[in-house]
Amino acid sequence: MSAKRYDDDLIPSSPVTHGVEPEAAPSSAPQQLGFGVRSLRGKMFGLFFLIPLALILTSSLLYIWQLTTLSSHLTEGSTEMVSKASEDVLARRAQAVATQVQVYLATHPELKKPMFNYDINFKSIAVQKVGTKDYTALYEKPGPDGIWRTWAHVNPDIIGIDMTLLKKSLGESFEGFWKIYSGIKDKSESKGYYDWRDADGVMRKKFMVVTPVAGTPYALAATAYVDEFTNPVKWMQDNANQFAIRTRNIVIGILAVTLILIGVIVAVYGYRLTERITHLTDIADRISVGDMDVEIAGLQTQDEIGELARAIGRMQGSIRLAIKRLKERERR
């Protein structure tokens, strides 16, 4: 009698042993977590997609920023170097022309200043082309009358006039020009940048160097448009900016394709993995309520999920064997 009770206690309440529907256990149906943050699929999405996405985006943006910054620094540094070199070249040009003027005046003492702009030989020395549009010019420092006069210039209309009269015609360009032009009065050399309204009405920046003609009351001025120096550098800068933009677009394109591929791979693999786990969970729940006939099919893979499926299968077989032995003992 006691053996009978012992057998009854060990035999689970199942269709196999008693022919009645078993009571549903509290965990008889797997919870459908879907794609929430607590589900395995959600965790895989966060671990294998969102975190790599943040890292890739950060590194890509940093790379683009570094590339743009490097391009900007290179072009700015190149502009400064070219401008400095151009200033030195213009200064040396002014000094060379001043030396030539000094030699010519020393060897031609009969040449007077009213004739400077009309003596072909002297003018060819004092008025030399600088760049594509500018020329050197020779003017006289103020004497007792305090008047600045130009004696050799490409424009014959300003020869011998009081240079302050140009204030009206030059307008807003006069102040910057005059500061450098008259700066030679108290310094051994005067140079600097100033804005100049061109013949077409466009305001452009120019650079002027004024150097004295040794042993004379004269000074030699050389001017040039700044953009003649910097245009090649600006062309390089434009090319560098275009290259940076193309590189940025390529990086963004590669990033987008990479993220799409990662997203698809994670989604597909996560779906397949969670489906297999959900299937095994359902099988385990059915076995737990006494359904010994459920088949574990399609999960015989050579990975951890396959090992879990085989372990559940062995557990199912062990339970079947235990039930069979209990039934045999009950019949005795």
pTM of the entire predicted model: 0.54
- 263 and 292 Cβ atoms separated by less than 8 Å: no
- 190 and 210 Cβ atoms separated by less than 8 Å: yes
- 125 and 101 Cβ atoms separated by less than 8 Å: yes
Q: What is the pLDDT of residues 242-290, one digit of tens each?
A: 877 888 788 888 888 887 888 788 788 878 887 888 888 888 888 888 8
Q: Which position has the higher pLDDT, 154 or 86?
A: 154
Q: What is the pLDDT of residues 55-100, one digit of tens each?
A: 777 887 787 787 777 767 666 666 677 778 888 889 999 999 999 9
With 70 as the cut, is the pLDDT of residue 157 above it?
yes
Round to whole Å and give the CA distance between 216 and 213: 6
Q: Across residues 111-134, what is the average pLDDT?
A: 92
Report the candidate in 280, 298, 273, 299 with the shortest Cα–Cα distance to residue 40.
Answer: 273
- 91 and 191 Cβ atoms separated by less than 8 Å: yes
CA end-to-end distance (rounded Å), the chain: 12
How would residue 25 be classed by pLDDT, with cut points 50, 70 and 90? very low
With 70 as the cut, is the pLDDT of residue 54 above it?
yes
Round to whole Å and give the CA distance between 195 and 173: 6
Q: What is the pLDDT of residues 199-219, one digit of tens each?
A: 777 888 899 999 999 999 999
Q: Which position has the higher pLDDT, 269 or 25?
A: 269
